[in-house]
Chains A and B, each alone.
Chain A
Amino acid sequence: MLEVKNLHATVDGKEILRGINFSVRAGEVHAIMGPNGSGKSTFASVLAGNERFEVTDGEVLYEGRDLLSMSIEDRARAGIFLGFQYPVEIPGVSMANFLKVAVSEKRKYQGLEPLSAAEFLRMMRERASVVELDSKLTSRAVNEGFSGGEKKKNEIFQMAMLEPKLAILDETDSGLDIDALRIVGTGVTKLKRPDNATVVITHYQRLLDYIVPDYVHVLYKGQIIYSGDKSLALKLEKEGYDWLINQYE
């Protein structure tokens, strides 16, 4: 589904990603871990197409297409969803209106008719329950006045609405209490299907109790320096990154 080859990227002239090789097949769950500043969020942003970052080398194939040549919105419509570490507040734009536009744009891209108002509302109600999101929040402006936990739940709710093929969750667990973590974690798991895939970026093993990864990768200084199965996350939790970094350097 996703094939990343030798990806290099810079921000303000500083190289952050220095040759990432990474691939994801349908049905898989990948976890990317690594110390602060290793480039995890940058990697997620580059896949989503954030224009702050400049890709200087390498290529990314998504379902056989050149992802890097696609616009941000086309990547999204083609099924790439980024769960933001810091979801953005958009004053005055209601959740309902925002999602209505997003869902119909995606359907248009897929050649489908837009949903009727009733169908759309039913879908909202249904999907909000996946993450136990208070339905009142859907009448508010996007993320405005949401608590930290609500914002993260809202990300997963949007993921449920947009049914992505490849969901990249950037530190979705940060700032969550135990209940919210459970809700978010089980929510993501409920959305898992054989034809989609999930990439979870996290610092902590605890989220991986809910979203069980098939592969765990360690990103360090802009490169994946080690990959393993889910037991790697447990080892990292216990022993930290030093043993790996020492090996690498």
Chain B
Amino acid sequence: MERSLENRWIERYRAWAATRGAASVPLLEAVRRKALEAFERLEIPAKGSGHGDRYHYTDLRTAFAGEYRLATEAAPASATDSDSLPIQGHRIRLLNGGCGEKTLTRLSNGVIFGSLAAAARQEPSLVERYYDTLTDPQDVFSAMSALWMQDGVFVYVPTGVEEPLPFVIEDEVGDGGEALYCFARHLFVFERGSAARLVWDHRSRGEASTLKCGTREVSVGEDARIEMVELYRLSAQAVSVSGGYVRQARNSRFESLSASFNGALLRHDLTVMLDGCGAENRTDGVMLAGEAEKFDYTTDIRHHVSDCTSSEQFKSIASGEGTAVFSGRIYVAPDAQRTNAYQQNNGLILNTGAHVYTKPQLEIYADDVKCSHGATVGQLDPEAIYYMRQRGISLQEARRLQMYGFVREVLGKTRIEGLAEVLEAMAVDKIDRL
């Protein structure tokens, strides 16, 4: 194996490590050491290489070969930022993977949120119980993000607490002129019977090229009910590699919705471990890739125990030279009986030059299951266009309406107040540019 790229990153790491003081928290350092060992044997995947064919359509090696400077920690945007989502909630602000002041907010109901670095210092036993417990040891990006992590998001909702306000993560990258990279690790702990909603807004500051790599772990306790919505509206030079590991306990419900609107390369990896009977998972997404954008969403929904339910719905539209990739695996372990798993991916390809790739997979080792997937790739329905035109709607508007209707079905699923309208407005805006 040719390791010059990995070696370059290791050199970069050593140079950075030498400049860091001993200020950090022992727990984070322990994971960092482990991550370095892992990274020394792992490979940054090229297209089609390794790790169970997870990288069939996306070359991340090239993305990591660029020349970047490590982002220095800076203060995140102020509360008056005009790009800020018009959603009520607890704000958590990140810039280049850091939370600035490294503080934690504690609510009277026991909810804690803010900087993961601060949490590791102030709540070491809590963080230790969950940090780096769900990641896949073969995942090079979780190793890299642990290795470089300076901070990240921490949210803790204690047993039985239903937090009424959503958490709004404003995650910005870039600071103007220079190409930079940043890594972060995030930790979300939802205890038994808790309920929470989160909105994660990925934005760019400036137009310079950036490489953002983050890994999150989400622990969903028994009977907990969690909804997480993410939107990506990065600059045309921004690369984002985002990994997620969700572990669900008995009878929990976790719903996620991801909207990829803008970015040069958006790679998402989501692993959901249904580890408690009766758990329910819903994973939905929309990808609108135009120009030379490449959006790749890879999911691995793992039914480890019986009586769990999962459903996935992804809709993609590609135009220009854009590429939309959906790879979804449903894994059903031996004895995970009475599994109900469903997956649907629909793609629209608008012109020659655009690409829609889909790789739905079922891997099933139990027999009493209902599993299905469907995938379609096609165009706008000419009959529907004709019908709309017959009602006086222009061709262009009919196409827009149809595309909008196509993605709305997914975007409308969020129950966070006011968010569906925001997402739909962004979708319309992007569709007009497709």
Contact = CB atoms under 8 A, between A and B. Distances in A.
In the complex they form, whether A and B have CB atoms below 8 Å apart is answered with: yes
Contact of B405 (A84, A91, A105): A91
B384 interface: yes
Contacts of B386: 50-51, 72, 88
Nearest to A84: B387
A88 B387 contact: yes
Contacts of A76: 389-393
B390 A82 contact: yes
A98 interface: yes
Contacts of B384: 88-90
Interface string A37-57: 000000000001111000000
Contacts of A97: 401
A92 B428 CA distance: 13
Contacts of B398: 73
Nearest to B411: A92
- Chain A's interface size range is 20 to 34
Interface string B398-418: 100110111111000000000
- Chain B's interface size range is 20 to 34
Nearest to A107: B392
B394 interface: yes
Contacts of A189: none
B126 interface: no
A99 B397 CA distance: 12
A91 B406 contact: yes
Interface string A44-85: 000011110000000000000000000111011100011010
Chain B interface helix/strand/loop/mixed = helix
A11 interface: no
A101 B391 CA distance: 9
A16 B387 CA distance: 22
A92 B406 contact: yes
Nearest to B386: A50
Contacts of A158: 391
A9 B407 CA distance: 37
Contact of A90 (B387, B389, B395): B387
A77 B392 contact: yes
B388 interface: yes
A71 B401 contact: no
The 4 closest A-B pairs by CB, nearest first: A92-B405, A93-B405, A76-B392, A72-B389
Interface of B: 381, 383-384, 386-395, 397-398, 401-402, 404-409
15 contacts: A72-B389, A76-B392, A87-B387, A90-B384, A91-B406, A92-B402, A92-B408, A98-B391, A102-B391, A102-B393, A106-B392, A109-B392, A141-B405, A158-B391, A162-B392
